[in-house]
Chains A and B, each alone.
Chain A
Amino acid sequence: MIRLYDYLLSVNCYKQRLLLSILDVPYERVDIDFYPGWEHKGAEFRKINPLGHIPVIDDDGYVLWDAHAILVYLACKYDPSGSWYPTSDPQRLGEVASWMLFAEGTTNTASAARLHVNLGYDFDLEACQAGAHRLFRVLDEHLWFREQQGQAWVASGESPTIADIALFGDVALSEDGGISRLDYPALRRWTERVQRLPGFIDMPGIFPVAKAPA
């Protein structure tokens, strides 16, 4: 069984829990005393990941770290439909890769602001917030044009991909870092679409949405 080294309030860990839940893959959680215990920085945990980061998965002895890399692995291995990581469609795959890199940016700005506010990480809050707003403007415009083309998700096509998963947590929890989404109406609609996906699970800090009309 997959073992996920996890911290409840980590957005990057949540991305794994969300995809595993949507794909309905059973897994075992190993809770790391991330804060204030800093267990992931300790010698024991560095035997598992020398970088001292979570999430890490151990899939029957195969160990992988880096949140977005794990999403790629899980989707390739556990999504029989092949839609979450569309390897058979070069154009869509390219888009997914591009937006996954974009998600590194939202992690390093929006989620970094959250770590600073919540846990006191030594980041420049204003710089993180300004960076997140720059990226959110791009993403909001992108999603608005997707809607104009009758599409709902970050990458083109009819179904969501791991790019949506990689971006969702950073966006949905941005207000934890003092980043308002007032100016991003398309982004707000997209987060609700993600929340209505079958198998969606939330993490503390995400407000529930009403069900879609029958």
Chain B
Amino acid sequence: MTAPDPGSLLHPVAGCADLVPRHVVKARLLGQDLAVWRADDDFVNVWADRCIHRGVRLTVAANDGAELVCPYHGWRYSNRSGNCAYMPAHPSDAPPRRLRVPTFRSEERYGLIWSGGSPEAEPPRLPHLEGEDTLVLRALPVNAPPDLALQGLLEWPCQPVPAPGDGASISCDSAGPFAVAVTARTGGTEEAVVHFVQPVDGGRCVIRPVMRGAPAADRRLSILRHHARQLEELRTRLESSAGSPVAVRGPSTPLQPLRRPTATAVSGRAPQLEVCVARKWLTAEGIAAFELAPVSGQLPSFQPGAHVDVHLPNGLVRQYSLTNGPGLTSVYRLGVKLEPDSRGGSRCMHVSVHEGDRLQLSEPHNNFPLRRDAARTVLIAGGIGVTPLLAMAQTLQRQELAYELHYFAQSDDHLAFGEVLEPLSTGLVKHLGLSPDQTADEIKKITHDYGTASHLYVCGPGPMIEATRAIAADSGWPEDAVHFEYFKNESELHDASSFEVRLARTGQTLVVGPGVSLLDSLRDAGVDMPSSCEQGVCGTCMATVLEGELDHQDVFFNDSERAAGDRILTCVSRAGGHKIVLDL
């Protein structure tokens, strides 16, 4: 009988009790160094022990409960996905989704964490340990090859418990390729310990014993001590007989990390994710909250300020901001306000979408990124505009960066996500029931003293964003310090013009006729343009302009970006003259 390839099995890499909060356990399995850590949501991560940026071991990183922070350049990696969430040298960049630490299987059984390279294998089930409580005894690292330890354990009839009386019959039996079970029978009682052997590398292993049954509190410590002494004796024997390191049985190839689908190219407006409505509730007057869980696998990571396109059952596509703070990686959480003049988007979400329903989403896009290098960060939310700012506030709070979240709403009943607002209390200022003039006065007070390295983020109804931008500009805020995201484009769109477009790269020339968008014309000509909102809000369908006057109709660009005239949102904007040249 040939022994199975160790790389095809799962092995223990740590005891569950080793994974204390905000700690990273250092482990090694079959020559692969591992960083093992538990997030605050109890998810156990088993990662390659290496920052992908400059190779620093992640076992020296800080576990902040949601992310591991590399001590070298402060790169942050998210719980579950292992995606890079932030690169501090580039505060305004969203890290590409391909930047990801290799992650491995993580299973819990018998009080141990199991990992390995196989996507299908399961931790062993042993009759000795099934159906009862177990006690994890002290694990012992041994400077001897795993095979030698297994053989030593088979020849080492150590009493599982101290002084069970004379005449105990002890048997040691192989319990799978990397485990030895010891059973002691005295009279009518039977004690059992299984020693799992973690193959560290060619010359080393860790013996991880698990005992059946939970002993009474007064016996527990003496059992632990008794067993540790016995194992220590075995270790001395093994290490004195171990020669130089020998090759471990396989694996012939390095441990395989889990494969995850890489980000699909953003193309057209096709949905990329299938999710299930895990929870739906009314979080405030007229605002429904949704938690969307992946149907399979894990959700793509994103940065604060991001939104997803939701493909509604009625065929409409709507953008909703993700309110998640760092640490909430198992679901996307959205807030949707029922608009009285809804064209079918918010009404459909409120009325037709129920818990358990499936929805199609795009991957997250972020056109409202948060810098985390500001001396002062001011977040101004109007009503449902709070959603992206909630993600920002939670991120800043966790990183202990100062911020103010000014939340303008009609009344207490209109404040959404109270459970998220509660722990933000230090940075949160509520402004309730103010008229537009009173709101403007408040915003004047908030923004009156601009200082360098200050950044302002505003999201809410169009007129409020307009007012905030004007007030901030009057108070001396530079344009590039004021960041905004509109929910919708409330200006009337003019599409009566007709113009010519030349594509510099392909040499094609197209004509965009009245009533047809530039975006649609480009797609008709075979150009694969990504898009999301298709109303000049989100910035996804941007193209670079090489020549020609522009008729900007979006609410995405600020005034100097418009004046520069080098970019266009193809969904709503058009040529100002007869012809434009695009870098496509």
* A 169-209 to B, binary, CB cutoff 8 A, 1 in contact else 0: 00000000000011101001100100000000000000111
Residues of chain B within 8 A (CB-CB) of A209 are 22, 62
- A185→B18 contact, CB < 8 A: yes
- Which residues of B from 519 to 552 have beta carbons under 8 Å from A? none
Question: Chain B residues with Cβ under 8 A from A207's Cβ?
Answer: 60, 62, 71
* A-side contacts of B221, CB under 8 Å: 145, 148-149
- A32-65 interface bits toward B, Cβ cutoff 8 Å, 1 = contact, 0 = none: 0000000000000000000000000000000000
* Residues in B41-68 with C-beta less than 8 Å from chain A: 60, 62-65
A-B contact pairs, 30 of them (CB 8 A): A141-B138, A141-B228, A141-B232, A144-B138, A145-B138, A148-B224, A149-B221, A181-B26, A182-B26, A182-B27, A183-B141, A185-B14, A185-B25, A188-B25, A189-B18, A189-B20, A189-B23, A192-B22, A192-B23, A207-B71, A208-B62, A208-B71, A209-B62, A210-B63, A210-B69, A211-B22, A211-B64, A213-B21, A213-B22, A213-B65
Quote the shortest CB–CB distance from A210 to chain B (angstroms): 4
For residue B438, give the distance in angstroms from its CB to the closest CB of chain A: 36
A residues whose Cβ falls under 8 Å from a Cβ of B: 141, 144-145, 148-149, 181-183, 185, 188-189, 192, 207-213
Which of A144, A145, A209, A210: most chain B Cβ within 10 A?
Answer: A210
Whole-angstrom CA separation of A141 from B141 in the bound complex? 11
Q: Do the beta carbons of B21 and A212 come within 8 Å of each other?
A: yes
Bound: A144/B138 CA distance, A? 8
B224–A145 contact, CB under 8 A? yes
Interchain CB contact under 8 A, A210 and B138: no
* B373 at the binding interface (Cβ < 8 Å): no
Would you give the shortest CB distance from B86 to chain A, in whole angstroms? 15
A141's closest neighbor in chain B, by CB?
A: B228
| Residue in chain A with minimal CB distance to B71 | A207
Neighbour of A210 across the interface among B27, B62, B220, CB < 8 A:
B62
**B224 surroundings in chain A (CB, below 8 A):** 145, 148
B22 and A210 form a contact (CB under 8 A): yes
Q: How far is the CA of A13 from the CA of B404 in the complex (A)?
A: 43
Q: What 8 additional pairs, Cβ within 8 angstroms, besides A145-B228, A185-B26? A: A144-B138, A145-B138, A145-B224, A145-B225, A185-B14, A185-B18, A210-B69, A213-B22
Which residues on B sit within 8 Å (CB–CB) of A141? 138, 228, 232
Q: Does B372 contact A (CB under 8 A)?
A: no
A182 pairs with B71, CB closer than 8 A: no
Q: Counting chain A CB atoms within 10 Å of each CB, which of B20, B63, B64, B220 scores highest?
A: B20
Q: Which residues of B contact A192 (CB under 8 A)?
A: 22-23
CA distance A189 to B38 in the complex (A): 14
- In the complex, the number of residue pairs spanning A and B with C-beta atoms less than 8 Å apart equals 52
CA distance A138 to B270 in the complex (A): 61
Closest to B224 in A: A148
Question: Considering the complex, which residues of chain B in the window 125-157 have a beta carbon less than 8 Å from any beta carbon of chain A?
Answer: 138, 141
Q: Does B495 belong to the interface (CB within 8 Å)?
A: no
What is the CA–CA distance of A207 and B63 in the complex, to the nearest angstrom? 12
Closest 9 CB pairs of A and B: A210-B62, A183-B141, A210-B22, A210-B64, A207-B60, A213-B21, A185-B18, A182-B26, A207-B71
B333 at the interface (CB under 8 A from A): no
Chain A residues lying within 8 Å of B228, measured Cβ to Cβ, are 141, 145
Chain B positions near chain A (C-beta within 8 angstroms):
14, 18, 20-23, 25-28, 40, 60, 62-65, 69, 71, 138, 141, 220-221, 224-225, 228, 232
Query: What is the interface of chain B mostly: helix, strand, loop, or mixed?
Result: mixed
Q: Tell me the complex Cα distance, A145–B60, Å.
A: 25
By the criterion CB–CB under 8 Å, are B63 and A213 in contact? no
Looking at the assembled complex, report how far the CB atom of B5 sits from the nearest CB atom of chain A, in whole angstroms. 24
Interface of A is mostly: loop
Partner of B26, one of A144, A188, A213: A188
A213 vs B66: C-alpha distance in the bound complex, in angstroms? Answer: 11
What is the CB-to-nearest-CB distance from B247 to chain A, in angstroms, rounded to a whole number? 20
Who on chain A is nearest to B235 by CB?
A137
CA distance A189 to B19 in the complex (A): 9
A residues in contact with B225, CB < 8 Å: 145
Question: Complex Cα distance A213/B65, Å?
Answer: 8
**Complex formed: what's the CA distance from A185 to B15 in Å?**
10
Instruction: Give CA–CA (A183, B225) in the complex, Å.
Output: 19
Contacts of B69 in A (CB 8 A): 210
> In whole angstroms, what is the CA distance A117 to B274 when docked?
55
A70 to B122 CA separation, bound complex (whole angstroms): 55
Q: How far is the CA of A149 from the CA of B232 in the complex (A)?
A: 20
Q: Which of B28, B40, B220 contacts A182 (CB 8 A)?
A: B28
A192 CA to B232 CA, complexed, in Å: 26
Closest B residue, CB atoms, query A184: B141
User: In the bound complex, how far is the Cα of B69 from the Cα of A209, in angstroms?
Assistant: 10
The answer to whether A210 and B65 touch across the interface, beta carbons within 8 angstroms, is: yes
Give the complex CA separation of A148 and B71 in angstroms. 31
B111 to chain A, nearest CB (A): 13
- Report the nearest B residue to A149, measured CB to CB: B221
Contacts of A149 in B (CB 8 A): 221
CA distance A192 to B59 in the complex (A): 13
Q: Which residues of B contact A183 (CB under 8 A)?
A: 141
Q: In the complex, A184 Cα to B356 Cα: how many Å?
A: 46
Q: How many Å lie between the Cα of A208 and that of B23 in the bound state? A: 12
Cβ-closest chain B residue relative to A183: B141
Q: How far is the CA of A213 from the CA of B18 in the complex (A)?
A: 16
Interface hub of A181, A183, A211 (most chain B Cβ within 10 A)? A183
Which B residues are CB-close (under 8 A) to A145? 138, 221, 224-225, 228
Q: A138 → chain B, closest Cβ, in Å?
A: 10
**CB closest residue in chain B, given A185:** B18
Of A141, A182, A192, the most chain B CB neighbours within 10 A belong to: A182
Residues of chain A lying within 8 A (CB to CB) of residue B25: 185, 188
How far apart sit A192 and B37, CA to CA, in the bound complex (Å)? 14
Contacts of B65 in A (CB 8 A): 210, 213
Bound-state Cα–Cα, A207 to B57, Å: 12
Name the CB-closest residue of A to B24.
A188
Bound complex: CA A126 to CA B60 (Å): 24
Does A212 contact B26, Cβ atoms closer than 8 Å? no
Q: Which residues of B lie under 8 Å from residue A212 when comparing CB positions?
A: 21-22
Contacts of B14 in A (CB 8 A): 185
Q: Across the interface, name the chain A residue whose C-beta is closest to B139.
A: A185
Nearest CB of A to B116, in Å? 19
A149 to B65, CA, bound (A): 26
For the complex, give the distance between the alpha carbons of A141 and B225 in Å. Answer: 10
Measured between beta carbons, the chain A residues less than 8 angstroms from B60 are 207
Task: List, in ascending order, chain A residues with CB within 8 A of B28's CB.
Answer: 182
A188 CB to nearest chain B CB (Å): 7
- Of chain B, the residue at the smallest CB distance from A208 is B62
